Amino acid sequence: MYRTADGEEIFIVDGHVHFWDGSPANQRNRYAEGWVECFYNYHKNLSPAEYVWPLEQYQKYSESQMMKDLFDEGYVDVAIFQPTYLRDFFTNGWNTTEQDAVIKAKYPDKFILNSAWDPRDEEAGLREFEDKVKRYNIKGVKLYTAEWKGDSRGYKLSDPWARKYFDKCVDLGVNNIHIHKGPTIWPFNKDAFDVGDVDDAATMYRDAGLNFIVEHCGLPRVEDFCWIAAQEPNVYGGLAVVMPFIHASPHYFAEVMAEMLWWLGPDRLLFSSDYALWSPKWIIDKFMAFEFPQDILDKRAVTLTLEDKKKILGLNAAKLYELEVPTKAGFQVAVPA
């Protein structure tokens, strides 16, 4: 819970956190090493100096460290685990549903456990996914379309098997589909970050009740993401990666935030730290203090009120995941949209 200077309480849902193992013991190959190095540079480049960890700590951090950073110091009430398997790179996976489930079992009220699926696992994966959903009461999935699998360098949400998995999500009530685009999806000669397949899926499954949360707002294709989101009411922007710019490049953060508010409005944006890429405390502190500079308001007539910040920091995610918000913190108990 974040408390303003006036004593007002703000309910915080961190929409995207990890409990990963990138230690050398878990690395299978140079791609794993490259993965950790890349993540670490994101962390180092955008974090305030006092929040930068040594590489060893970043590769593998403790449960107590995570609990402290998220809940004791980071204001977070509920955090959503978003698994990323990467079994071709990491022996035990980078961060799997099963690993997250161990933590969730210890702190059932603090975490939402999401799962994942991969259309390339076809029929066997479909059954395994259904088992996981039932075992863990799963309400959301994280899809990483650029994941390597054998010779394959990724998949599209429009692949025929992806449709079967979406149908399964509808059947099982797994309504929140988080999507992360990476750089190496097949075919290589096309734009790997293209979000057009999100558009197709969002249109096709709108009436069935699926919500599509595009992580880091489609970065580096923010322009295409805004365009799609403006037309599809069930498309949301996950603010991972975007938010830490509030420290490193506040003016660019303001510019992108103004675009997001212009095209999507304050009801379809979700705060997330992407922990342990970044720590929620400083992002939330800076976001609460943030106001648009005048030169941006001159170009884009947007507002960001305290009520808007509350929605972005927690109430929007609470609605998607049907969380109960303490009435003092929200204007209401979140109800299904």
Partner 1 sequence: MIQTAFVAVSEEAVLASLGTVTDPELDESLVELGFLDSVRIEDEGCVEVVLRLPTFWCAPNFAYLMALDARAVTLKVSGVHQVRVVLKDHMYSDEISTGISAGLPFDEVFPGQADGEDVGELRTLFHGKAFGMRQEQLARFLLDAGLTADEVVALRLDDVLDTSNASGLRLQVGGQPRLVRGGAPLARAYLERRSRVGLNSGGSGALFTTVEGTSIAAAELAEYLQCGRRQRISMTFNAVMCKGLLETRYDLSKGDAE
For residue 53, state whether it binds partner 1 (rule: CB under 8 A): no
Q: Which is nearer to partner 1, 31 or 290 (CB)?
A: 31
Least Å distance between CB 231 and partner 1?
A: 13
> Which residue in 8, 63, 191, 322 binds partner 1 (CB under 8 A)?
191
Q: Which stretch binds partner 1 (CB under 8 A): 63-71, 222-230, 269-277, 279-287?
A: 222-230
Give the separation between CA 101 and CA 303, rounded to whole angstroms: 39
Q: Which is nearer to partner 1, 220 or 326 (CB)?
A: 220
For residue 220, state whether it binds partner 1 (rule: CB under 8 A): yes
Number of Cα atoms under 13 Å in the Cβ half of residue 189: 0
* Residues 181/199, Cβ–Cβ less than 8 Å: no
Q: Which is nearer to partner 1, 59 or 175 (CB)?
A: 59
Give the separation between CA 308 and CA 313, rounded to whole angstroms: 9
Least Å distance between CB 216 and partner 1?
A: 10
> Which residue in 24, 183, 209, 326 binds partner 1 (CB under 8 A)?
183
Size of the site for partner 1 (CB under 8 A): 37
Give the separation between CA 257 and CA 283, rounded to whole angstroms: 14
> Which residue in 50, 109, 123, 151 binds partner 1 (CB under 8 A)?
151
Give the separation between CA 161 and CA 278, rounded to whole angstroms: 34
Residues 227-266 within binding reach of partner 1 (CB under 8 A): 227, 245, 248-249, 252, 255-256, 259
> Which residue in 182, 196, 233, 265 binds partner 1 (CB under 8 A)?
182
Least Å distance between CB 247 and partner 1?
A: 11
Residues 2-41 within binding reach of partner 1 (CB under 8 A): 31, 34-35, 37-38, 41
* Residues 232/199, Cβ–Cβ less than 8 Å: yes
Give the separation between CA 13 and CA 176, rounded to whole angstroms: 15
Give the separation between CA 329 and CA 8, rounded to whole angstroms: 7
Least Å distance between CB 49 and partner 1?
A: 12
Neighbours of 179 (CB within 10 A): 22
For residue 192, state whether it binds partner 1 (rule: CB under 8 A): yes
Give the separation between CA 288 and CA 310, rounded to whole angstroms: 9
Residue type present at position 142: K
Least Å distance between CB 129 and partner 1?
A: 27
- The enclosing H or E element of 204 equals helix 196-204
For residue 215, state whether it binds partner 1 (rule: CB under 8 A): no
Give the residue from 121, 204, 188, 313 showing the smallest Cα distance to 196: 204
What angle (nearest 5°) sits at the alpha carbon of residue 98, between those of residues 93 and 103?
110
Q: Which residues bind partner 1 (CB under 8 A)?
A: 31, 34-35, 37-38, 41-42, 44-46, 151, 153, 182-184, 186-193, 219-223, 226-227, 245, 248-249, 252, 255-256, 259
